[in-house]
Structure 1
Amino acid sequence: MKKVLFASTALIATAGVAAADSGVNFSGYGRFGIGYQEDRGVSPTGIPVGTFVTNTNTFITAGGTVTTTTTSFSQTDISITGVTDSDVSDTILVSRFRLNIDGFTETDGGVRFEARVRLQADEDSSTGEANSAGLNGARFSVIYGGLRVDAGNVAGSFDNLANYYGNEVGLELFAGQYSGVNYNFLSYTSTGSGSNAVFFQYAVGDFAFGASYDTNDAFDADRWDISATYTFNNITAALAYGQTDGGDLFEDDPSLTVLTLGGEWGDFGGTLFVADDATEIDATDGTAWGLSASYNLGAATTLLFTYGDGNADADLQQVAIGAIYDLGGGASLRGGIGVNDCDICDGSQTVADFGAQFNF
């Protein structure tokens, strides 16, 4: 991470109070390589590109990505008919450039103020072409001792939960133990404005507590979540619960409960994941579960494994293995191969990628 400090006696004089520490940090990473996705014009769940999944606030796009929309919120089951965008090549050049810009200052009393924006450019997985870089919404933070409060484009309790994501596989992190979860929780947005919410976290000793809240005035909907984390020896246990009080948005109030366990034993690391994914929709409502593991082979090589699934018909099952080879200096070679499937899919889908990543 590079730190560039901007300070002068003139600035301090105008501010009136001299800060103990202030400046701007730049950090991030770049990655590029080859990505393969069988039948790229179809999402991993088998739902055709361009399909609106009603009452879940999602829109299916090519390459398996899901973007939020506010087009339809009536309750219905998911149906699969036809395939679109089938001319997209299964193998494309994948890439990402990410630059975090952090401004910070610290008062004489030890209160730290921070703000972050992120500049990011990714490939368009639906066309195989490159996208332009753009700034996301700002996040503001106040930190004092074990207390942290974030406002703006923030990550909620699930997005911050220890071992929620586990050991994801691939250069693009295309597979994870959480794949069976469909609830739309508050998360940090790298390429959009975000939800303009509030997140609170307090850590004391081996315990940490978190909570977040955001609202959608257009649909009279409130979304909130809480979490608790405890670390004992080399094992961390975390529990989180979140709910969307739908108002005009949902007929029922969907919720999510997640329990994670994670630990390290020498060269081996592993995580367990279980969730009650109460989406209140027949095709996605149910239990989700998963696990992941990492093993350090030595010689700068780490092997990865992840598995995720759920008991609902549209829950995405993912099984994948991968590896990371450390080149030193913050650079590495990464890749993986896996399979996507679900109960209502037309068939399984093979996914793989390989490339280089360098941190700065």
Structure 2
Amino acid sequence: MKNVLFATTALIATAGMAAAEINFGGSARFGVIYNDAAGATDELAITNRFTLNIDGSVETDSGIEFFARVRVRGGNTGTGATGASGVSAPRVGMSVAGFTVATGNILGAYESAPGIYDGSVGLTGLGWGNLVGNTTAAAFDWDSFSSAGGGSNGVEVIYSNAGFGAHLSHSPTNDRTAVSASYNFGDWTVAAAYQDGQTAANDKWALTAGGSLGNFGVGASYGDNNGLTKWRLNGSASIGSGTTITAYVADEDTAGADMNYGVGFTHSLGGAVLAGGVAGTAAGDTLADLGVRFSF
């Protein structure tokens, strides 16, 4: 009788939930990283990172999808004691007819603009000097999804249709409002992003353009960060079987800042990727890394 009751309860609990899903997926990486900056704890160190996304969703009879995500992330670099992994605040929302509304740990309109991260090199990004919003005066001063923390606690609206995309976000906690728009035509995408910050120091805008020509990729970006401008040119080439070379140059108009550059490669291992690169920072430091990353 007890088994019958359990089976009946399971059927009732799952009835009407055929469209409900929970998915697990993520990525990991490990390798070595080099940093010759003065004060660096370890000039040459072992590095690793683990990311797990937990996504839940349900679709109503009327076609509205409700979704939620939390992320578990942990990583360590150097010879010190290992640090514990953290769990992100949730991002929760709904999607219907090309529109997405999300709340909580939002993605952010500036961060999500197509082309913002183009030109990235190496296993770890190597300082992300390819981002025109990342300068010596302000680094990553925009709303983005926090992988192991609270994030920006805001609201965002995203729309996409027939190659056109738009994104509006606002975070009361940081008092930032951002908007971006993009258009994809064939193998090419252009985009623009703007953020109005709590203070003038967080005001920024960026333009991006990129596409492909056969086995070659090209891109460009220009940004203004409260009057401090930065540009980037990037390119890539697919050579051989599963190997891609990527490079970028970028420069900001800060007095005394060196030109950013980066050269990197990826090579498919059939289920994993070997990646590495070398980058020069605006401060004149050299960064390099080499290792393997994989998704699951």
TM-score normalized by structure 1?
0.74
Contact 1:25 1:103 in 2 (8 A): yes
Give the partner amino acid of 2:181.
Answer: A
Residue 119 of structure 2 corresponds to: 167
Contact 1:19 1:108 in 2 (8 A): no
Contact 1:31 1:358 in 2 (8 A): yes
Residue 55 of structure 1 corresponds to: none
Q: Residues 185, 314 of structure 1: CA spacing in aligned structure 2 closer, same or farther, 3 A cutoff?
A: farther
Displacement of 1:358: 1.3
Q: Residues 38, 260 of structure 1: CA spacing in aligned structure 2 closer, same or farther, 3 A cutoff?
A: same
Displacement of 1:14: 5.1
How far does the alpha carbon of each residue in 1:30-57 deviate from its partner, in whole angstroms, 9 at most, with x for none? 1100100003625xxxxxxxxxxxxxxx
Residue 48 of structure 2 corresponds to: 95
Give the partner amino acid of 1:300.
Answer: G
Which of 150, 155, 158 pairs up with 1:201? 158
Residue 295 of structure 1 corresponds to: 237
Displacement of 1:176: 4.0
Residue 78 of structure 1 corresponds to: none
Instruction: Verify: 1:110 aligned to 2:110, yes or no.
Output: no
For residues 99 and 38 of structure 2, what CA distance do their matches in structure 1 show?
Answer: 44
For residues 57 and 11 of structure 2, what CA distance do their matches in structure 1 show?
Answer: 14
Instruction: Verify: 1:243 aligned to 2:196, yes or no.
Output: yes
Gaps of 5+ in 2: 1-6
Contact 2:48 2:77 in 1 (8 A): no
Displacement of 1:297: 0.2
Instruction: Verify: 1:263 aligned to 2:262, yes or no.
Output: no
* Same amino acid, percent of matched pairs: 32
Residue 312 of structure 1 corresponds to: 254
For residues 268 and 252 of structure 2, what CA distance do their matches in structure 1 show?
Answer: 34
Give the partner amino acid of 1:30.
Answer: A
Give the partner amino acid of 1:13.
Answer: I
Contact 1:324 1:334 in 2 (8 A): yes
TM-score normalized by structure 2?
0.89
Contact 1:93 1:128 in 2 (8 A): no
Residue 341 of structure 1 corresponds to: 282
Give the partner amino acid of 1:210.
Answer: H
For residues 359 and 150 of structure 1, what CA distance do their matches in structure 2 show?
Answer: 25
Q: Residues 162, 296 of structure 1: CA spacing in aligned structure 2 closer, same or farther, 3 A cutoff?
A: same
- Let me know the Cα RMSD of the aligned residues: 2.2
Displacement of 1:234: 1.6
Contact 1:121 1:131 in 2 (8 A): yes
Displacement of 1:308: 2.2
Q: Residues 212, 31 of structure 1: CA spacing in aligned structure 2 closer, same or farther, 3 A cutoff?
A: same
Correspondence list, 1:75-86, <5 A: none
Q: Residues 206, 12 of structure 1: CA spacing in aligned structure 2 closer, same or farther, 3 A cutoff?
A: farther
Count of residues in correspondence between the two structures: 285
Instruction: Verify: 1:133 aligned to 2:85, yes or no.
Output: yes
Contact 1:177 1:273 in 2 (8 A): no
Q: Equivalent residue of 1:39, what SS?
A: coil
Stretch deviating more after TM superposition (252-261 or 289-298): 252-261
Residue 158 of structure 1 corresponds to: 110
Contact 1:12 1:18 in 2 (8 A): no
Which of 134, 152, 170 pairs up with 1:213? 170
Give the partner amino acid of 1:351.
Answer: L
Q: Equivalent residue of 2:61, what SS?
A: coil
Q: Residues 253, 309 of structure 1: CA spacing in aligned structure 2 closer, same or farther, 3 A cutoff?
A: closer
For residues 193 and 124 of structure 1, what CA distance do their matches in structure 2 show?
Answer: 22
Instruction: Verify: 1:21 aligned to 2:19, yes or no.
Output: yes
Displacement of 1:121: 0.8
Displacement of 1:332: 1.1
Give the partner amino acid of 2:295.
Answer: N
Contact 2:105 2:151 in 1 (8 A): yes
Give the partner amino acid of 2:106.
Answer: V
Displacement of 1:23: 1.8
Gaps of 5+ in 1: 1-7, 43-87, 279-284, 343-347
Runs of 4+ in 1 over 3 A off after TM superposition: 8-15, 313-317
Displacement of 1:148: 0.9
Give the partner amino acid of 2:98.
Answer: G
Q: Residues 310, 95 of structure 1: CA spacing in aligned structure 2 closer, same or farther, 3 A cutoff?
A: same
Which of 191, 200, 211 pairs up with 2:148? 191
